[in-house]
């Protein structure tokens, strides 16, 4: 295993000062010269799961991503509508209304814009999309908090509570939804049924409005749960988009060397672990509970307390 990893790293070190695409091309040429024919089964799989067969032009993809990341004009008005609709739906526990808010929310566009800028090495796009995303999140929190402050219904509905307890399934849904979303956005033909489905599966607006409810009602524990769900959904949509755009070999505004691109990938890998830390800790606790270790620890601690209580009681009677 180590020999294989060493061989792979040596391949890239040889061309580390070349642009990424040129380095990959050189490596592929070397492998072809060695006479490594792809099997028939491999070619069949490549044909079935090809993501470049009907890909749109790079100019079209760039235009779509940048326009989706805009927060001015109609996108701002749509955002306001989505916030109000989601807040009412959560407050009244109406699933249909919540789904409507998910469908019209423009939050995914800015996340994909940040991901596109990352892969294209376009700092201005990343900066603009990130500022726009921060504005959208701030507006969503302010308006949803104001709504729940003036709303006569203060009780936590099942729809609100459902957004305060994220699970590892949310990570899988967000990532696979992000993959489907970026594939649909980068095709020549519009896949009209994909984007709405992704918007519903990877809910961004409902947990954000749940944060507004938690702030308005001083439910701080629920606030962290809803905020964590929003962070998970947003980050793993971003990660999926970055990976897929990199596989599609999106051209870069500023060509990176292999060494620079490795640094970018390393940063993304490191930041991926931070949202997963709470899940890792919770999973460890559950494993300990299933194996009975926690119960043994609790039993021993209770036994010690009981022994201390009995000793104290005995000392008092002796006095």
What's 19's DSSP letter? B
Q: What is the DSSP string of 39-81?
A: PHHHHHHHHHT-SSTTBPPHHHHHHHHHHHT--STHHHHHHHH
pLDDT tens string, the chain, 319 residues long: the values are 445 445 555 555 565 665 555 665 566 566 555 555 445 565 555 555 566 667 777 788 888 888 878 887 788 888 899 999 999 999 998 888 988 888 888 888 899 889 888 888 888 888 888 999 999 999 999 999 999 999 998 888 898 888 888 877 888 888 888 888 888 788 776 655 666 667 676 788 999 999 999 999 988 888 988 998 898 888 889 988 888 888 887 777 666 666 766 777 777 777 666 766 776 666 666 666 666 555 545 545 555 555 555 555 555 566 5
**Do the beta carbons of residue 133 and residue 107 sit within 8 Å?**
yes
The model's pTM is: 0.72
Strand partners, 55: 187
Q: What is the DSSP string of 183-234?
A: HHHTBSS--TTHHHHHHHHS--HHHHHHHHHHHHTT-HHHHHHHHHHHHHHH
Amino acid 1: pLDDT:
45
Strand partners, 19: 257
Of the candidates 157, 3, 171, 4, the one whose C-alpha atom is nearest the C-alpha of residue 88 is 157
Amino acid 105: pLDDT:
85
Q: How far apart are CA 68 and CA 70, in angstroms?
A: 6
Amino acid 76: pLDDT:
84
Q: How far apart are CA 36 and CA 31, in angstroms?
A: 7
Backbone phi, psi, residue 151, to 5°: -70, 135
**Do the beta carbons of residue 294 and residue 288 sit within 8 Å?**
yes
Amino acid 83: pLDDT:
93
Q: Cα 151–155–156 angle (5° rounding)? A: 110
Q: How far apart are CA 69 and CA 61, in angstroms?
A: 12
Contacts of 168 (CB under 8 A, 6+ apart): 279, 283
Q: How far from 91 is each of 50, 155, 196, CA to CA, in Å?
A: 44, 8, 23
Task: Identify the three-state secondary structure at position 24.
Answer: helix
Amino acid 287: pLDDT:
65
Q: How far apart are CA 210 and CA 226, in angstroms?
A: 6
**Do the beta carbons of residue 82 and residue 101 sit within 8 Å?**
yes
Backbone phi, psi, residue 160, to 5°: -70, -45
**Do the beta carbons of residue 107 and residue 205 sit within 8 Å?**
yes
**Do the beta carbons of residue 283 and residue 168 sit within 8 Å?**
yes
Q: Write out the two tokens for 160.
A: 């609100």
Q: Write out the two tokens for 197.
A: 């489905």
């Amino acid at each position: 295993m180590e020999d294989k990893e060493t061989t792979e790293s040596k391949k890239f070190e040889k061309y580390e000062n070349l642009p990424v695409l040129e380095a990959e091309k050189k490596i592929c040429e070397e492998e072809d010269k060695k006479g490594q024919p792809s099997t028939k089964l491999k070619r069949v799989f490549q044909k079935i799961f090809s993501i470049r067969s009907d890909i749109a032009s790079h100019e079209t993809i760039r235009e779509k991503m940048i326009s989706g990341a805009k927060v001015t004009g109609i996108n701002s008005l749509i955002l306001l509508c989505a916030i109000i609709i989601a807040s009412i739906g959560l407050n009244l526990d109406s699933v249909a209304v919540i789904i409507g808010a998910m469908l019209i929310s423009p939050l995914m566009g800015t996340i994909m814009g940040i991901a596109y800028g990352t892969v294209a090495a376009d700092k201005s796009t990343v900066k603009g999309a990130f500022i726009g995303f921060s504005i959208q999140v701030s507006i969503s929190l302010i308006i949803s908090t104001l709504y729940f402050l003036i709303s006569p219904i203060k009780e936590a509905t099942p729809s609100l509570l459902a957004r305060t307890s994220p699970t590892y399934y949310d990570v899988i849904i967000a990532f696979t939804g992000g993959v489907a979303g970026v594939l649909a956005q980068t095709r020549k033909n519009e896949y009209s049924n994909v984007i709405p489905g992704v918007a519903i599966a990877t809910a961004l607006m409902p947990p954000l409005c749940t944060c507004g409810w938690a702030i308005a009602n001083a439910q701080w524990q629920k606030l962290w749960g809803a905020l964590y769900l929003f962070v998970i959904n947003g980050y793993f949509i971003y990660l999926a988009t970055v990976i897929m755009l990199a596989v599609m070999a999106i051209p870069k505004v500023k060509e990176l060397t292999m060494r620079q691109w490795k640094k970018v990938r390393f940063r993304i890998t490191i930041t991926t672990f931070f949202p997963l830390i709470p899940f890792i800790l919770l999973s460890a606790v559950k494993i300990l509970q299933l194996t009975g270790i926690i119960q043994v620890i609790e039993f021993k601690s209770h036994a010690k307390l009981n022994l201390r209580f009995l000793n104290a009681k005995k000392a008092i009677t002796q006095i």
